[in-house]
Amino acid sequence: MMNIAVLVSGRGSNLQAIIDNIDNGYLRAKVTVVISDVEDAYALDRAKKHGIEAVYIGHGNFAKKELYEEEIITVLEKHNVDLILLAGYMRIVGYTLLSAYRNRILNIHPSLLPSFPGLHAQEQAFRYGVKVAGCTVHFVDETLDSGPVILQRCVEVREEDTAETLAGRILEQEHMIYPEAVKLVVEDRLRIEGRKVRIIN
Ligand code: GRF
């Protein structure tokens, strides 16, 4: 069984989607630890409610990013983690963590990448006036919101939408494609070929 760590900074609704899909049998995996860089992140409470180890590691307590990530790695190793999911984790993953878990870190982003990377992606898309928005699950590499794309889902922008209503419908899709992408990893059905991720049957 694959052991998963989820890295969070906030409310943790994507973490919840992963937990729920493990509980209902869709995903054969285990979340062994949730790590937050924000002490009062609601995601930590969600983890505890499900009996999952919840760990706060404050970036500010370390002199260098390298040391901060080494502490994260210590916790990951203690929990025998095979796969890391970023779920609203608001830091850029550095070389230390990336090189320890190469091609074993996934992220979910609320836009159709490579459009609208960075913060407030849904609002960026809404203001730009796109007719189709969406979300992306991708492997994490050294560039922000880059890395080979695993799954994407479209969300149509409606005339009556606000940035908030659009973000809400994108989030519903996030909660579906993140577990789907994790299932593909768990079942060893992904092959990274350059920028492309091939899904095998
Ligand atoms: C989501 O929109 C995700 O795509 C982005 O940050 C948000 C996290 O939400 N990376 P939550 O903490 O999972 O509820």
Q: Share the mean pLDDT of the chain.
A: 98
Q: How far apart are CA 22 and CA 177, in angstroms?
A: 14
Q: Atom of ligand 1 at shortest distance to CA of 13?
A: 14
The torsion defined by the Cα of 184, 73, 142 and 145, in degrees rounded to 10, comes to 50
pLDDT for position 107 = 98
pLDDT for position 147 = 97
Asked if 120 is an active-site residue, the reply is no
**SS3 per residue for 106-122:** EEEECCCCCCCCCCCHH
Q: Which residue among 109, 120, 138, 175 is the active-site one?
A: 109
Q: How far apart are CA 115 and CA 138, in angstroms?
A: 13
Q: How far apart are CA 12 and CA 35, in angstroms?
A: 11
How many CB atoms are closer than 10 A to CB 103? Answer: 15
Does domain 108-201 match CATH 3.30.450.20?
no
Superfamily of domain 1-102: Formyl transferase, N-terminal domain (3.40.50.170)
Percent of the chain whose predicted confidence (pLDDT) is above 90: 100
Asked whether 109 lines ligand 1 (CB < 6 A), one says yes
Ligand 1 centre and the CA of 134: distance in Å? 13
Ligand 1 centre and the CA of 77: distance in Å? 25
| Eight-class DSSP state of 157 | P
Ligand 1 centre and the CA of 12: distance in Å? 7
Q: Atom of ligand 1 at shortest distance to CA of 87?
A: 13
- Per residue in 40-65, pLDDT tens? 999 999 999 999 999 999 999 999 99
- Asked if the domains 1-102 and 108-201 are classified in one and the same CATH topology, the answer is yes
Per domain, the residue ranges of the chain are 1-102, 108-201
Report the residue among 45, 108, 145, 146 best suited for mutation to probe ligand 1: largest number of ligand atoms under 8 A from its CB: 108
Confidence of residue 161 (pLDDT cuts 50, 70, 90): very high
How many CB atoms are closer than 10 A to CB 93? Answer: 22
